[in-house]
Structure 1
């Protein structure tokens, strides 16, 4: 009988090195139709320099420091929807299409719905059910499948990888 793992010596702690990858989260938004991806947007995360303020602690943020959100907010989503509709307006055959969204918190109904209706499209929201049945979640799962687990050099590389992944995803599989 052989041991699969090495035991530590008596009275010595067993230390096991675990490789970790530190990365910066770069959230994205995507618009997809039956022919393929319409619009993909990657949000640039703000990098705020920390300033030392006399008497400030780590728990209190100074009032004069600029605070940029690190994730996507409702205003970013509304701007993405407007940009997507600008692209859709260039193709008369998609005029009047339904714009289907899942029920995320950033999809502010009171702001997004009038914006979509004013442009001649119909907003529709998916009900909350299993992500296996949600076509939007399946699309993003397939997109993430094509990303390599290596370090990205800059936003340009991420954009090219996103475009390549969108071209590789077959919508008939979704």
Structure 2
């Protein structure tokens, strides 16, 4: 038992010998149960081996000497392609950056992306692209004026279709007669527009107030010893369910990409996680509340209310569990625990508890997921779940555990570097 003696500090406050105020919450594993999945010890025992730097660049080389001089190309499997499109469509990387990260030649990466976008546009708009020889001497139908109009159109309406783009052009330029293929080629080649997964965020994310709060937050914390790459643990929760599907899908040319969804909505599972550049610190699953088959009244005739979502009690239990893990490992001594400012995170008792255990408590500015590396961790874990269809006999908890165990330490370090790289954006008061 942790016995603490508190005394009055001269200002009417009760504090212990270290100046910490008493915490008015305690761990309640029965009232707010969490299921174990991964902690630092199990992660370090079962994590996959890191990929040597040389092996990333030296993929299997295949000779193509059938015609002419000997040349070589890198043979990439479906897993590599799947990871490439995940980085482009889910993480928002350019084809060049995604290719560099996976050891794919720049030209190959852009070729993959162009072919995939052609398939997407054809499927969505019924466009049939044809490779034809360029006709010499034929004047271009679209010019700089049309380019400016299209760029302004897609800035205001990024989800507009090709049909809508053509309608906008012909409304503005009444004499213009142009085909879908011509507009598509002009958009991709002259306007440098590309079709990709849309990322939605709230209007407040890049409001002047949010940008200013991020600037103030970065300005404050860069003056301390807080370092994303050496002394921070990042915490957050995310929702998972058995019906997770990729946001993009393959289909035959000219047909819609359709994915059959189950008739019943899957039960959502909340997972709480803590990661660091040294490894996964702690991951637990909130045990779902199962409603009784028959409604029963409690004594006195009133109905007992049960919270369905994650509440402060679950989060407090998770924080306590995470700190217990950190206490067992010297590399986490004195670390900062970083989390967003969601209401269940900002209870004063949580801050007091963290500080009483010898760790720093840091809340991120609002609408700033890019500053929390664990957001990328969740994306990667979910992508691993989406790759394979869950079998009925399988347990989602088991699959979440396996997905977490397959995240490399180099990936975790990369997540931290990425979020830290956004500090400059915030200091320049640019949108995230």
TM-score normalized by structure 1? 0.73
2:270 corresponds to: 27
1:125 aligned residue (341, 360, 363)? 363
Deviation at 1:137, TM superposition (A): 1.5
Runs of 4+ in 1 over 6 A off after TM superposition: none
1:173 corresponds to: 414
Tell me, in whole angstroms, the C-alpha distance in 2 between the residues paired with 1:99 and 1:93: 14
2:383 corresponds to: 145
Change (3 A) 1:24 1:92: same
1:63 corresponds to: 302
Tell me, in whole angstroms, the C-alpha distance in 1 between the residues paired with 2:295 and 2:321: 39
Tell me, in whole angstroms, the C-alpha distance in 2 between the residues paired with 1:160 and 1:30: 15
> CA RMSD for the aligned pairs?
2.5
Change (3 A) 1:108 1:145: same
CA contact (8 A) 2:385 2:403 kept: yes
Tell me, in whole angstroms, the C-alpha distance in 2 between the residues paired with 1:168 and 1:53: 44
1:40 corresponds to: 283
Tell me, in whole angstroms, the C-alpha distance in 1 between the residues paired with 2:391 and 2:272: 21
1:75 aligned residue (305, 313, 317)? 313
Deviation at 1:138, TM superposition (A): 1.5
Worse overlay, 163-172 or 115-124: 163-172
CA contact (8 A) 1:29 1:42 kept: yes
Tell me, in whole angstroms, the C-alpha distance in 1 between the residues paired with 2:295 and 2:401: 41
2:400 corresponds to: 162
CA contact (8 A) 2:364 2:371 kept: no
* Structure in which a larger fraction of residues adopt helix: 2
> CA-to-partner distance for each residue in 1:110-142, whole Å, 9 max, x for gaps?
111000011000101111244344322112111
CA contact (8 A) 1:100 1:125 kept: yes
The secondary structure found in structure 1 opposite 2:362 is strand
Q: Which structure would you say has the larger Rg?
A: 2
Tell me, in whole angstroms, the C-alpha distance in 2 between the residues paired with 1:114 and 1:128: 21
2:33 corresponds to: none
CA contact (8 A) 2:340 2:365 kept: yes
Is residue 86 of structure 1 aligned with residue 324 of structure 2? Answer: yes
Change (3 A) 1:85 1:134: closer
> CA-to-partner distance for each residue in 1:22-66, whole Å, 9 max, x for gaps?
200011100111111111111111112253579xxxxxxx724x4
TM-score normalized by structure 2? 0.32
CA contact (8 A) 1:45 1:69 kept: no
Extract unaligned runs of 5+ from structure 1: 5-17, 55-61
Deviation at 1:151, TM superposition (A): 5.6
